[in-house]
A and B are shown apart, each in its own frame.
Chain A
Amino acid sequence: MLKYLAARILYTLPVAFGVSVVCFMLVHIAPGDPLTSILPPDASAQLQQEMRALYGFDRPLPVQYGIWLLKVLQGDFGTSIATGRPVATELGRALGNTFILAVVATLIGFLLGSLFGFVAGYFRDSWIDKVASFISIIGVSVPHYWLGMVLVIIFSVQLNWLPATGAGPGGSGDWAWDWAHIRHLILPAITMSVIPMGIVARTVRALVADILSQEFVSGLRAKGLMDVGVFRHVVKNAAPTALAVMGLQLGYLLGGSILIETVFSWPGTGFLLGQAIFQRDLPLLQGAILVLAMVFVVLNLLVDIVQSLIDPRVQRT
Chain B
Amino acid sequence: MSTPLVDINNLHVRFHGQRTVHAVNGVNLTLAPGETLGVLGESGSGKSVTLKTLLRLLPENRTQIAGDVRVSGVDVMALSGKALANHRGGVVSMIFQDPMLALDPVYTIGEQISEGVMRHEGASSREAYARALEMLTRVRIPSPERRLKAYPHEMSGGMRQRAMIALALACKPKLLLADEPTTALDATVQIQILLLLRELQRELGMGMIFVTHDIGVAVEVSDRVAVMYAGQVVETGSVRDILRSPQHPYTRGLLAANLHGAQKGQRLQAIPGAPPPLDTAPVTCSFAPRCPVKAAGCDAGPPPNVTLAPGREVRCIHALGEAQGSAAN
Q: A222-B93, A224-B89, A224-B120 are in contact. Are A312 and B151 (CB under 8 A)?
A: yes
Nearest to B118 among chain A residues (CB) is A229
Given A218-B96, A219-B96, A225-B115, decide whether A313 and B88 contact each other with a Cβ distance below 8 A: no
Given A216-B102, A233-B107: A221 and B57 interface contact (C-beta under 8 Å): yes
Query: Is B24 among interface residues, defined by CB-CB distance under 8 A?
Result: no
**B204 in contact (CB, < 8 A):** no
Q: In the assembled complex, which residues on chain A have CB atoms less than 8 Å from the CB atom of B105?
A: 216, 237, 311, 313
Q: Is B116 an interface residue (CB 8 A)?
A: yes
| Interfacial chain A residues near B96, Cβ < 8 Å | 215, 218-219, 222
A293-317 at interface with B (beta carbon < 8 Å): 310-313, 316
Residues on A with C-beta less than 8 A from B120 are 224
Q: Tell me the B97-155 residues at the A interface (CB within 8 Å).
A: 98, 101-107, 112, 115-116, 119-120, 151, 153-154
Q: Contact: A223 with B104, CB < 8 Å?
A: no
Q: How far is the CB of A96 from chain B (nearest CB, A)?
A: 36
B125 to chain A, nearest CB (A): 14
Which residues of A are found within 8 Å of B57, using beta-carbon distances? Answer: 218, 221-222
Nearest Cβ on chain B to A60's Cβ, whole angstroms: 53
Q: List, in ascending order, chain B residues with CB within 8 A of A219's CB.
A: 94, 96, 102-104
* Interface pair A310/B106, CB less than 8 Å apart: yes
Q: How far is the CA of A247 from the CA of B278 in the complex (A)?
A: 49
Residues of A close to B93: CB separation below 8 A: 222-223
A225 partner residues in chain B, CB cutoff 8 A: 85, 89, 115-116, 119
Per-residue CB proximity of B308-328 to A under 8 Å, as 1/0?
Answer: 000000000000000000000
B89/A222 in contact, CB under 8 A: yes
A223 and B115 within 8 A (CB) = yes
Cβ contact within 8 Å between B101 and A214: yes
Q: Which residues of A contact B86 (CB under 8 A)?
A: 224
Identify B151's interface contact among A214, A224, A233, A313, CB under 8 A.
Answer: A313
Closest Cβ–Cβ distance, residue A313 to chain B (whole Å):
6
> How far is A107 from B124 in the complex, measured between Cα atoms in Å?
35
Chain B residues numbered 217-231 whose CB sits less than 8 Å from any CB in chain A: none
| Given A218-B57, A312-B151, A313-B151, CB of A223 within 8 Å of CB of B102 | no
A220 close to chain B: CB less than 8 A: yes
Contact at A229–B115, with CB atoms within 8 Å?
A: yes
Q: Check if B249 is an interface residue, CB within 8 A of chain A.
A: no
Instruction: State whether B116 touches A224 (Cβ < 8 A).
Output: yes
Q: Known: A215-B101, A219-B104, A233-B104. Contact between A224 and B153, CB under 8 A?
A: no
The verdict on A85 contacting chain B, using a C-beta distance below 8 Å, is no
Give CA–CA (A315, B16) in the complex, Å: 42
Contact call B104/A222, Cβ cutoff below 8 A? no
- Interface core residue of A215, A223, A313 (most chain B CB under 10 Å): A223
With both beta carbons as reference points, the residue of chain A lying nearest to B108 in the complex is identified as: A312
Name the A residues within 8 Å of B104 (CB-CB).
216, 219-220, 233, 236-237
- Does B260 make an interface contact (CB < 8 A)? no
- Asked if residues A223 and B116 are in contact (CB atoms below 8 Å), the reply is yes
Q: Which residue of A lies closest to B171 (CB)?
A: A224
Given contacts A215-B98, A216-B101, A224-B89, contact A312 B119 (CB under 8 A): no
B55 within 8 A of A: yes
Q: CA–CA, A313 to B153, complex, Å?
A: 7
- Contact yes or no, A312 B106, CB < 8 A: yes
How far is it, in angstroms, between the C-alpha of A216 and the C-alpha of B109 when the chains are bound? 13
**Chain B hits for A236, CB < 8 A:** 104, 106-107
**B244 contacts across to A, CB distance below 8 A:** none
Residues of A within 8 A of B81 (CB): 226
| Contacting residues, chain A, for B98 (C-beta < 8 A) | 215
With A222-B57, A223-B89, A312-B151 as known contacts, state yes or no: A215 contacts B119, CB within 8 Å.
Answer: no
C-alpha spacing A236/B103, complex, angstroms: 14
CA distance A226 to B119 in the complex (A): 9
B82 touches A226 (CB 8 A): yes
- Closest residue of chain A to B112, judged by CB? A223
| A237 and chain B: residue at smallest CB distance | B106
Report the separation of the CA atoms of residues A225 and B87 in the bound assembly, to the nearest whole angstrom. Answer: 11
Q: In the bound complex, what is the Cα–Cα distance between A316 and B85 (angstroms)? A: 36
Name the A residues within 8 Å of B153 (CB-CB): 312-313, 316
CB–CB A223/B119 < 8 A? yes
Looking at B90, B102, B120, B151, which has the most chain A CB atoms within 10 Å of its CB?
B102
A252 to B53: give the CA distance in the assembly, Å.
49
On chain B, the residues within 8 Å of A316 by CB distance are: 153
Interfacial residues, chain A to chain B (CB-CB below 8 A): 214-216, 218-226, 229, 233, 236-237, 310-313, 316
Which 10 pairs from chain A and chain B are nearest by CB? A224-B89, A215-B101, A219-B102, A224-B88, A223-B116, A223-B89, A222-B94, A312-B151, A224-B85, A216-B104
Q: Which residues of B contact A (CB under 8 A)?
A: 52, 55, 57, 81-82, 85-90, 93-94, 96, 98, 101-107, 112, 115-116, 119-120, 151, 153-154, 167, 171
Interchain Cβ contacts under 8 Å between A and B, 8 examples? A219-B104, A223-B88, A223-B167, A225-B89, A229-B119, A311-B105, A313-B105, A316-B153
